[in-house]
Structure 1
Amino acid sequence: MRARLVVFPVRGRNWCFSTSLQPSVSDSSSSHSPSTFKHLWSIISTSHGKSSTSKAEVLVDFASNKMDKGWKALEKAPEGSFKNKLHGLGLWLLSRVKPSEIFLKSISKDVNGVEVIYPSSLNARLVRRRLRHIAMRGTIIHKKYFYGSVTLLPLTTVFAVLPLPNIPFFWILFRTYSNWRALKGSEKLLQLVSDGSQTSSSTTINGDETQRDVFVNNGEKLLSSWVLKPSKELEELLHRGDEEDGLSKTAISDICRVFDLETNDVLKYRAST
């Protein structure tokens, strides 16, 4: 699976990193994840040769599916009901999640290559350096947050005695899952953009619009796992909406429409400090 990354500055030193997977590619990992506790136990108990990381992935997929089903049930709750209010609270909490975390979570374990789209005026080395930085930073931050969330999980069980849904427990459970996914995404992205750290040269394909790094290892040319695509269209959209305090919301909406990005996530980059 190849993921398409769109990278561009939104305000000052704030850059947007967003992902839109190619429509023809579907992530089939959810279809193989266990749907019941019995199925989950069967998979874990029979996977003696698998690593602890693989078993943790199965647990995370199982918890993710359960949370998705619960969230969809809240979405369908009648207006004004208690479940509908819980859904509103959940939306507010999700709005507090940093956009970089959402971006890193989108890099799944099935991604084996990235196509990086960026404004044609930017230097390709700077774009790669920024991608490596956000990936390396993610491995540090989300590992720390993951262990912190795991530590807090047992403490939230004390709220189970209340005659209300244990919201702190489910929120910390979600944060545990989210930080785990962001950590794995960081490691995967770092692996992809650091692929072929040997002496590199650059070749151009499809005219001057697409650049693919070629690395030389003992005289043998190796194609990198990333494809760099400077975009004149993205450059024009940036100039069209450039203001003193960053890109205008209209320009961001246009970019999101053209490159199939989530507008709210991109706006978070603009508002971040």
Structure 2
Amino acid sequence: MRLFLLPISTRRSLIYCEKLHEKAVAERTIFDKVTVKANETWAGWEKDDKALWNWKNKVTFYGNHALKQIPYEEWGLKTIPALTTKRRKAILEGTEKYHVMFPGLYLHQEKVPEILKKLATERQAMHRSKIVWSVIAMPFTIPFMLIPVIPNLPFFYLVYRTWSHWKAFSGSKHLEFLLANNLPTPNPSWELDEVYTAGLMYPNRLISRAAPRPTKEQAEEVSRVVEQQTNDGAEDVMVLQRWNGKLIAEQFKLPDMEVEIERAVEQVEKSIKAKDELVEEKLELEKATAEAGKTAKDALPKDLIHPLEELDKKIHEKAEDIAEKSDETTKR
């Protein structure tokens, strides 16, 4: 089984597990059958524009928007299958091999175990808690069953979130078990280095396809520039472009990987941008208040400064009176 550890930025990575094969219909569990049916229903709703009040299109539109807000870490863990008794036995006996593929020039091999452990354990408690609260909330959706035509959407949403958290929790436990047994085996991938470098060298997918493949020297130079941009790890720098997800998915013939990468890149980009904006606001405020030796108080309007000065004066006078009385008491 191949796991892909894909750095989105210099501090955040996506884990993706390759699907080995599609199960035959006869081998599918109840969960598999329900999942397939739900996916088919959702796809049908997206195309159905004949429903009353066009509710199916609206539900899928806002539903897809809500799905985008689910953290990419959860989506990544969901790709790892549950740890069955059969898999556990195969791992312990060494009959099933696990490899983790990653771009060695953009993610140092010594950091791989630490990142995998963080991905495996960091969100377990949260997923467990969310499962419990989603189940507890389900009975409160019963009144929505009285709405005609439209199904009980809040109930189905809670069912989906329960399943999603369970899948992510199961994937994290599987990964944790692998790490406890010194798996998976790290495998730096030149193919990933090559695609990552192309994504950083070229402005879009079209040019990247037409341009020559990056050489090893070019890849090393680009990775060195990225390392410099981090200022010795102080800055979080993007290393993966959204349009590059399709090229990576094509490289390894894993079409489902594309949407996972694009979602992760979008979320990390927003997070970095929001952090940068906060830092910029803070710097502007400090610059405004420190200009010409001013303090924050100096930057206040005059009509506010005078009352503050009067209050400050009264506080000092009161403190002096207390000190004098204390001295007199001591002398006595």
Q: Do Structure 1 and Structure 2 share a fold, with TM-score over 0.5?
A: yes
User: Is the 2:14–2:76 contact (alpha carbons within 8 Å) kept by the matching residues of 1?
Assistant: no
| Residues 1:74 and 2:45 are matched in the alignment | yes
Range with greater deviation from structure 2 (229-238 or 174-183): 229-238
Could you say which residue in structure 2 is the equivalent of 1:207?
none
Q: What's the offset of the Cα at 1:76?
A: 4.8
Q: What's the offset of the Cα at 1:13?
A: 1.1
Q: What's the offset of the Cα at 1:32?
A: 3.9
Supply the AA of the counterpart residue of 1:26: E
Of 251, 259, 263, 2:258 maps to 263
User: Is the 1:149–1:176 contact (alpha carbons within 8 Å) kept by the matching residues of 2?
Assistant: yes
Range with greater deviation from structure 2 (66-75 or 5-14): 66-75
Q: What's the offset of the Cα at 1:62?
A: 6.2
Q: Distance in 2 between matches of 1:16 and 1:129?
A: 14
Q: Distance in 2 between matches of 1:30 and 1:184?
A: 23
Let me know the Cα RMSD of the aligned residues: 2.7
Q: Distance in 2 between matches of 1:94 and 1:175?
A: 10
Given the two structures, how large is their TM-score scaled by the length of structure 2? 0.57
User: Is the 1:14–1:269 contact (alpha carbons within 8 Å) kept by the matching residues of 2?
Assistant: no
Could you say which residue in structure 1 is the equivalent of 2:141?
156
Q: What's the offset of the Cα at 1:33?
A: 2.6
Q: In the TM superposition, what are the counterparts of 1:36-75 in structure 2 within 5 Å?
A: 60-61=31-32, 63-64=34-35, 66-75=37-46
Of 157, 166, 170, 1:184 maps to 170
Q: Which protein, 1 or 2, shows the higher relative CO under an 8 Å CA cutoff with sep ≥ 6? A: 1
Supply the AA of the counterpart residue of 2:56: K
Q: Distance in 2 between matches of 1:149 and 1:139?
A: 15
| Residues 1:130 and 2:123 are matched in the alignment | no
Q: In the TM superposition, what are the counterparts of 1:174-213 in structure 2 within 5 Å?
A: 174-196=160-182
Could you say which residue in structure 2 is the equivalent of 1:143?
128
Of 172, 184, 187, 1:229 maps to 187
Q: Distance in 2 between matches of 1:104 and 1:120?
A: 22
Supply the AA of the counterpart residue of 1:143: R
Q: Deviations over 1:222-241 (max 9, x none)?
A: xxx42321111211222332
Of 64, 67, 70, 1:97 maps to 70
Q: Distance in 2 between matches of 1:237 and 1:73?
A: 35
Gaps of 5+ in 1: 35-59, 197-224
- Alignment size in residue pairs: 216
Q: What's the offset of the Cα at 1:69?
A: 4.8
Could you say which residue in structure 1 is the equivalent of 2:15?
17
Q: What's the offset of the Cα at 1:63?
A: 4.7
User: Is the 2:5–2:13 contact (alpha carbons within 8 Å) kept by the matching residues of 1?
Assistant: yes
Moved over 4 A (4+): 60-63, 110-113
User: Is the 2:4–2:100 contact (alpha carbons within 8 Å) kept by the matching residues of 1?
Assistant: yes
Q: Deviations over 1:26-70 (max 9, x none)?
A: 345883434xxxxxxxxxxxxxxxxxxxxxxxxx55653553453
What is the SS of the residue equivalent to 2:123? helix
Q: What's the offset of the Cα at 1:75?
A: 4.1
Of 30, 33, 39, 2:29 maps to 33
Could you say which residue in structure 2 is the equivalent of 1:171?
157
